[in-house]
Structure 1
Amino acid sequence: MSVKVTFLNDEELIIHDDTYISAWKSEDANDSNEYAYYAIGVPAGAREEGTALNSPYPVASLQGLFGSVDWFSLVRSPNKIYKTSAILSLTTI
């Protein structure tokens, strides 16, 4: 089952069962980190790999993931990253 992600600017992405998702939470500087700002990777993966996204309800899985992270990409080594607050809707297709 696939899910369409619609953004506020009308851009759309289709996430299939074999789509690999990378995700990150943004963090502020702290005393133990030399960088002022950084992102922490969050385990995601692909539904077909049996990851935490492997649920009979793909929209609910993605809703939970996107609600708990700040950024995501649809590949393991991203050159384009999406801001989750720009998501307008998730639709099963």
Structure 2
Amino acid sequence: MSIKLTLANNQVLTIDATTSLKAWKGTHDKDETTGKREYYAESIFADVLAKDDPADLLVALQGLLSHSDWFAVGPDFDQVFQSQAVVSLKAM
């Protein structure tokens, strides 16, 4: 099974059971002395989603995207996508 992931700009990504993904959640720390905030993207995932059961890929991708702010698709991870830009997921 593979998943057709469509972004708001109509770009389409294809995710399958062997596709490596990375995902990040935005976070921040507040320096109690200065009151300034420092912002980070905390890594929350770096692996393939459904190596044990490819049939769960759609559900696993839904869960990952709902809990992450940004994601990237391997093998190069050279472009990062905002999770909110995902318009649809379709099992193929």
TM-score by length of 2: 0.82
Runs of at least 4 residues of structure 1 off by over 6 A? none
Q: 1:74 matched to which residue of 2?
A: 73
Q: 1:41 matched to which residue of 2?
A: 43
Aligned-pair identity in percent equals 29
Which ranges of structure 1 fall in alignment gaps of 5 or more residues? none
Q: CA RMSD in A?
A: 2.4
Q: Do 2:50 and 2:60's aligned partners in 1 also have CA atoms closer than 8 Å?
A: no
Supply the distance in 1 between the matched residues of 2:70 and 2:77 (Cα, whole angstroms). 11
Secondary structure at 2:55 match in 1: coil
**Largest Rg, 1 or 2:** 2
Report the CA distance between 1:28 and its aligned residue.
Answer: 2.2
Matches within 5 A, 1:4-23: 4-23=4-23
Change (3 A) 1:26 1:15: same
Change (3 A) 1:39 1:59: same
Structure with the larger strand share: 2
